[in-house]
Amino acid sequence: MSVSLDLRGVSLEYPVYSVRAQSLRSAVMNVAVGGRLMRTRGDHTVVRALSDIHLRVGEGDRLALVGHNGSGKTTLLKVIAGIIEPTRGLMRVEGRITSMISLGSGMDWEQSGEQNIRNIATMRLMPKREIEARLPRIVEFSELGAYIHLPVKTYSAGMIARLTFSVATELDADILVLDEWLGAGDAEFRGKAAARMNAFVERARLVVLATHDHDLVAKVCNKVCELEAGQVRFFGTLDEWIGRKAADDGQQTAA
């Protein structure tokens, strides 16, 4: 089965408060959020986080979501990953999605690292038999040693990062969704994590990556979606985006 991701007119709105009751405050906030406050028929104000998103990517594509802070990159990732349901539009997904967003979600701080590995893998729909088969490899890669049998509430932030990263990158992904390029743990562990991350992305059949790193985009991705105020400013190939960016930079230099 081939994999694909197809978004048609996807929009997302968050209700805020009554326009009549808060007209001045509404006007001030609208400036702060880039003019994305909208008035609905029910006389309520909403923040339009995403507006009429159209995207289609398929097998072998590596899509970069780029844009300034607040442009909607992470929100769109969460919609694609199924964490947030869009207000309007259609989204069709062919293939199993693995999300690298909020890796620690569902972690039980009172249980051991080993049991949390089982919990996280189960939430990501890994069969029980497969979890037990992969458990030793996950524990070994995490380098947690005897700490794997202690409650995670005793772990440092770096140890928690190692644990969640080790589980997430053990899974096979048809469609991989991630926010920035992940590393984990201390400097010594990050070198090993980088190699594992590269292999993980290579195995995925379709990747959607939100990033500010344009060098990483050029290195990893073949398609780019540039967002601005929750709308698609550009969607096309990497070469088209590089050409457009060069033209924009040239105009700014001339000005």
- Tens-digit pLDDT profile for the chain (255 aa)? 789 999 999 999 887 655 454 554 554 445 444 545 555 555 567 788 899 999 999 999 999 999 999 899 999 999 999 889 999 999 999 998 888 887 777 789 999 999 999 998 888 778 899 999 999 999 999 999 999 999 999 999 889 888 988 988 887 789 999 988 766 666 778 888 888 888 898 999 999 999 999 999 999 999 999 999 999 999 999 999 999 888 777 666 665
CA atoms within 13 A on the CB side of 136: 2
> What domain range includes position 60?
4-96+211-254
Q: Is residue 219 part of a domain?
A: yes
Q: Is residue 160 part of a domain?
A: no
Q: Which helix (H) or strand (E) holds 50?
A: strand 44-58
For 106, other C-beta atoms within 10 Å of its C-beta total: 12
The predicted pLDDT at position 252 comes to: 66
The predicted pLDDT at position 21 comes to: 44
The predicted pLDDT at position 115 comes to: 96
Domain count, the chain: 1
The predicted pLDDT at position 163 comes to: 92
Q: Is residue 8 part of a domain?
A: yes
> For 224-238, b where at least 16 C-beta lie within 10 A, e where not — what string?
bbbbebbbbeebeeb
CATH number, domain at 19? Answer: 3.40.50.300
Q: Is residue 230 part of a domain?
A: yes
The predicted pLDDT at position 35 comes to: 47
Q: Is residue 102 part of a domain?
A: no
Q: Is residue 127 part of a domain?
A: no
Q: Is residue 29 part of a domain?
A: yes
The predicted pLDDT at position 37 comes to: 54
How far from each other are the two terminal CA atoms of the chain, in whole angstroms?
Answer: 51
Q: Is residue 82 part of a domain?
A: yes
The predicted pLDDT at position 45 comes to: 73
89: left (phi over 0), alpha (psi -120 to 50) or beta: left
